[in-house]
Chains A and B, each alone.
Chain A
Amino acid sequence: MTPGTPVVETVALCRSLTGADGVTPILKGLNLRVEKGEMLAIMGPSGSGKSTLLNILGCLDRPSSGTYRLDGVDVGGLDDDALADLRNQKLGFVFQGFNLLPRTSALENVILPMLYDRAQRYADPEVRARAALEQVGLGHRMNHHPSQLSGGQQQRVAVARALVTEPSLLIADEPTGNLDSHMGQEIMALFSSLHAQGRTLIIVTHEPDIAAVCSRIIVLKDGQIVEDRPNSAVV
């Protein structure tokens, strides 16, 4: 990545759904630029297009028109396999529902993305996975299954899994939505420390408390950015 290249750059990004009652626009020409090291909160009411935007930014969905460059790579021209590789190498996901594989140990869950790495960048996935779990404070529970872990612990496993491949961008969709406030604060503290290490994060949330710890906040409404402001409280 050359210095100065934004991690995320969208130009006139549109996404519409074709249903029984014709074409429904969801995103209406979004221009968004996220620089390296930013911690961006995306807020907005339900139906504003938050999730759709996140799916496109996470290369799980494609824009109907407009361009999206992730880390300088134009995603528009890529096929299904290339998108999968991009998710594997440049993106880390943290979901509201944790989305860990059930009946599979924390360690194996964290190893999983490295098994799908085609570039074979990881000499010893298990060592890396252990390090990642220790980094999120779960060194002592590596062999536990998700059902044996608390919600907060499960989400930390998910964060470790997202980080273990050193992605350019970490995407979190309501990461504290399924947690009580105490555990939520724990996770946000973890995110803040990642931000402090210089990582780039995008967090979708509707909780002002969460947005308050982000360095920049955008608000979506009806598929358009209606507000975009830096959070001076966070440097």
Chain B
Amino acid sequence: MKIGSLISMAVGSVRRNAVRSVLTMLGVVIGVGSVVVMVAIGQGATKEVTAKVSRLGTNLIVITPGATRTGGVSGGAGSQMTLTMDDLEILQKEAQEISAITPVLVAPSRVVAGGANWRTQALGVSLDYLKIRSWEVQSGRYFDTSEFQSRRKVVVVGQTVAQALFGEEDPVGRTVRIREIPVEIIGLLSRKGPTVDGADQDDVILMPSTTVQTRMAGRNFLGQILVSAADPGRVDAARREIAVILRENHRLSPKDPDDFTIKDQREMAELAQGTTRVMTLLLLVVASVSLVVGGIGIMNIMLVSVTERTREIGIRRALGARRRDVLAQFLVEAIVLSVLGGVLGALLGVGVTAALRQVTGWAAEVTISSIVLAMGFSVGVGVLFGWWPARRAAALEPIEALRFQ
């Protein structure tokens, strides 16, 4: 029997039992629909993360104190005070592969403005900091060379800090007290939103590192050194150079492990994407379960259908259908059911994704590959769960089948 006749026969049979067919398909519809939506959400999240990371600048290199160790107990990067301002100066002097460098001197502080106060981190940074982070000043200005060299008490604040202290008012020109020291706000950073791991990048105060070093008594530490590689294509070379200089400066013997950690944007991206990938996979597994349940629904109805149509099978065999014709007929019918369910499910998925985007503002995005995947899966479900009922139909003896009432 030709495949064309098989398909039109199957479609005819599905249409004759329209209500039952729709109910049978429902499992696959929901399964495919949820796969499409889950992948759309996962893809959207991954894309957003990638965009965020690339906004950090492609040649950003982050040096943190402390060693990375895989396995065993580790204090974690940043837990030791192995990075010093001396390292910064050496790198500034000797490294050829870097174009900009800034310390990140962390000074946890309470900021007071009139009646309002806010606990945050004041960061002592160099003039290069904005360029290295690709950040921008929204109003006012960043501090200049003379202010940096003369250790002036000026700061640039992030949106969260400004909001907390002054509400909607423009903070530029106002004076606040940080650790009881009065400082002048000269600039407001533009909004950057949370980082990929959820930290608020706008909850920040930037001031010259020279000022932090000399005028801010209290617990300060060098949290990071940020570096821009001179050439984005030579990030690895820059990392090697930095490691060599730091190891020499720390007088590490060749046997000693690094007591600092160097990361670039690529690793941060991979880390962040890894997390969303795991989430997507998890959601996908849940969605696949409903596809399997849908398949079992199809098998159930196909088994009922084979019993119900025993006489029809007998008639077809008497008219010259071979066993494999009967097998093909029921298999194609199961596949038509599941593919139809798959198409409806894909449409449903596209609709739900669009609605989600409208309602929640997530960057969910339906991909062609997820639709292809879901459709492939539903054909697979049809074959897998249609096989057994079809085999039972084909195994019927014509005389027995004809005698069936």
Contact = CB atoms under 8 A, between A and B. Distances in A.
Interface of A: 55, 58, 60-61, 80-81, 84-85, 87-89, 93, 95, 99-104, 112-113, 115-117, 161
Interface string B2-20: 1001000000100010000
Contacts of A89: 320
A93 B319 contact: yes
Contacts of A102: 312
Nearest to B17: A103
A101 B324 CA distance: 19
A61 B325 CA distance: 19
Nearest to B9: A115
Q: Which of B312, B320, B398 has the most CB of A within 10 A?
A: B320
B315 A61 contact: no
A84 B321 contact: yes
Contacts of B2: 115
B402 interface: yes
Interface of B: 1-2, 5, 12, 16, 311-312, 314-325, 398-399, 402
B323 A112 contact: no
Given A99-B311, A103-B16, A115-B5, A87 B399 contact: no
A171 to B, nearest CB: 10
B320 A87 contact: yes
Q: Top 6 nearest A-B pairs by Cβ distance?
A: A88-B320, A116-B320, A113-B319, A84-B322, A87-B320, A81-B322
30 contacts: A58-B318, A81-B324, A84-B320, A84-B321, A84-B322, A84-B323, A84-B325, A85-B322, A87-B320, A88-B319, A88-B321, A89-B320, A93-B319, A95-B402, A99-B311, A99-B314, A99-B402, A100-B315, A101-B312, A101-B315, A102-B312, A103-B16, A104-B12, A112-B316, A112-B319, A113-B319, A116-B1, A116-B321, A116-B322, A116-B325
Given A99-B315, A101-B315, A103-B16, A117 B402 contact: no
A161 B320 contact: no
A41 B183 CA distance: 118
